[in-house]
Amino acid sequence: MWPVSQCEVLRCGNPVSRMLLLIPLEAGAGRLETGVCTEHGRLIDAGRPWRWEPDDPAMGAPSVFSGHLVMGDDFDSRHVTVIAPPSRATRGLTRAPDGSEALTVYVERLRGDGSTELLPILMGLETAQRVIDRLCQYVGRAQCGHRHGPQSDVAPAP
């Protein structure tokens, strides 16, 4: 008998048919698994995208390891999942809502059914710089390479 009896995909109540490994022991945080039903196991095996979303302990979650999987329409509605770097960026032809110069970055978005779509993201140059700074904080400054300032030209990505 597995530690969970119902599939842990959001809104699914089917019985668990197998466990899905989320974090292997080698990751250093201990092994984390979740239960999935036959239907969702087949979709995962076929390559459908999924994401583990931990529950918030501040909102009454039983532990920091509790959560659920999101797939399909829930995957689409929760987050934008970018699977490719920006394919191109244009600057100077668009204006931000405040009238300042803006940048449109095009990224490839993964949808819950496994398809992709091109997603244009419009942002002012100051906002773009803040996004770059936050990403650099996340991955570490040494991995960011050359930083583009607000006055530099943004060349299209290859």
Print the SS3 string covering the chain. CCCCCECCECCCCCECCEEEEEECHHHCCCCEEEEECHHHHHHHHCCCCCEEEECCHHHCCCCCCCEEEECHHHHHHHCCEEEEEEEEEEEEEEECCCCCEEEEEEEEEECCCCCEEEEEEEEEHHHHHHHHHHHHHHHCHHHCCCCCCCCCCCCCCC
Per-residue pLDDT of the chain (158 residues; tens, 9 = 90+): 446 789 999 999 999 999 988 766 565 556 678 899 999 999 999 888 888 887 766 655 555 567 889 898 887 776 677 766 666 666 666 777 777 788 887 888 888 888 888 888 888 888 888 887 887 777 766 656 544 443 333 433 33
CATH classification for the domain delimited by 80-143, as one of 3.10.450, 1.10.20, 3.30.70, 1.10.1760: 3.10.450
- Domain locations in the chain as residue ranges: 18-76, 80-143
